[in-house]
Amino acid sequence: MTAISPRLKHEVKDLALAPLGRQRIEWAGREMPVLRQIRDRFAQEKPFAGLRLVACAHITTETAHLAIALKAGGADALLIASNPLSTQDDVAASLVVDHEIPVFAQKGEDNETYSRHVQIALDHRPNIIIDDGSDVVATLVQERQHQIADLIGTTEETTTGIVRLRAMLKDGVLTFPAVNVNDADTKHFFDNRYGTGQSTLDGIIRATNILLAGKTIVVAGYGWCGKGTALRARGLGANVIVTEIDPIKAIEAVMDGFRVLPMIEAAPQGDLFITVTGNKHVIRAEHFEVMKDGAIVCNSGHFDIEIDLKHLASQAKEIKQVRPFTEQYQLVSGKSVIVIGEGRLVNLAAAEGHPSAVMDMSFANQALAVEYLVKNQGKLEPGLHSIPTEVDQEIARLKLQAIGISIDSLTPDQIEYINSWTTGT
């Protein structure tokens, strides 16, 4: 095992897990060719030399490749977990042992530990923050205003985090540039839809081993994550009901062939409930009361507040683990409700998160967003900024090239036609 500098601080479960983590990181890299090309360029150009970077993210094999790419670019990087159940302990160990990247993350860490890790991240005095859910940024703004002067900017790739940043912007406290990675086409079209769709059902199946064919599955929310989840559930033979608050998304779900109902009407019909809204208490007291005995609930949104588990626990006479990451709440009414992954991200709590091929594009966006912030230091106004279109297009081009697919290009005559208002016939 590689000797670790005594100055390298870390807090991981067991450094002896590093060989397994190394093997799994290498396996994930097979399907991450775009990020590999970016890493190779970073290694030559060193765009982040001398900069301190903090990443609050799911510590997975795919995140490892992002961290390795950023360190190759010269960043003094430190990682913490963005979710108590999403850390892969062997990956965390490998990042410390094999790449000398400080990691503060353990699967199953409690909220107190998580909050302490956020403080450790801010003690690093970051120039760049990569955030999943904006907890580090929010803590910086609320508790460490004096450190904002150190900050070049932040990147955010979760829907929940973007909602928080927009609220911060509205309140006038977002006084530095933030790049909205989540809304990049090569992120949300693929990561949110195909990644969440597959990995959510993967987590559910690993945790429960239930047959989805013939089940009635209720998907709360029809954003890109909800679209992917509903699509994959139907593909496995489920009868899917969608709940929504947005009339446009509700119409879209109807025209995509799904039943759309209010949650109170869907609750008695569902066998399995999946929340993907980014809001709180989407499933709550009045819904639990009318659910079937043995109904299963889980969440694939970023925070564990979409299901009102505090109320559910208050109505339970017994809570017991029936399978790994699966708990049965036996209610005083005589019914039971099954909760997967403690209401946290089911795809990471009970499985391995998104497939590497999808995260290749998402983390390419993250890496290039960091480079964009650094290259434009002092030029970007405070507030939310989109990934430049040319960056989005380049990531898609590199991905197509990596998987051996060619596309057409415009002829000079076609370019002239679409750029002239006088043509039309």
**Ligand-binding site membership of 244 (annotated):** yes
- Could you give the count of Cα atoms lying within 13 Å of 148 in the half-sphere of its Cβ? 17
**Ligand-binding site membership of 239 (annotated):** no
**Ligand-binding site membership of 111 (annotated):** no
**Ligand-binding site membership of 286 (annotated):** no
Distance, CA of 400 to CA of 17 (rounded, Å)? 35
Distance, CA of 346 to CA of 44 (rounded, Å)? 38
**Ligand-binding site membership of 146 (annotated):** no
**Ligand-binding site membership of 158 (annotated):** yes
- Could you give the count of Cα atoms lying within 13 Å of 159 in the half-sphere of its Cβ? 20
**Ligand-binding site membership of 227 (annotated):** yes
**Ligand-binding site membership of 195 (annotated):** no
**Ligand-binding site membership of 224 (annotated):** yes
**Ligand-binding site membership of 383 (annotated):** no
End-to-end CA distance of the chain: 70
Length of the chain equals 425
**Ligand-binding site membership of 424 (annotated):** no
**Ligand-binding site membership of 222 (annotated):** yes
Specify whether the CB–CB gap between 130 and 153 falls below 8 A: no
**Ligand-binding site membership of 127 (annotated):** no
**Ligand-binding site membership of 132 (annotated):** yes
Specify whether the CB–CB gap between 89 and 161 falls below 8 A: no
Distance, CA of 63 to CA of 51 (rounded, Å)? 19
**Ligand-binding site membership of 279 (annotated):** yes
Burial (CB count within 10 angstroms: exposed 0-12, middle 13-18, buried 19+), residue 317: exposed
**Ligand-binding site membership of 347 (annotated):** yes
Specify whether the CB–CB gap between 283 and 306 falls below 8 A: yes
- Could you give the count of Cα atoms lying within 13 Å of 141 in the half-sphere of its Cβ? 19
Distance of CA 104 to CAs 118, 180, 357, Å?
9, 25, 26
**Ligand-binding site membership of 301 (annotated):** yes
Closest C-alpha to 133, from 68, 69, 80, 64: 80
Binding site: residue ranges? 60, 132, 157-160, 187, 191-192, 221-228, 244, 279, 300-302, 347, 354
Binding site for NAD(+): residue ranges? 158-160, 192, 221-228, 244, 279, 300-302, 347, 354
Binding site for substrate: residue ranges? 60, 132, 157, 187, 191
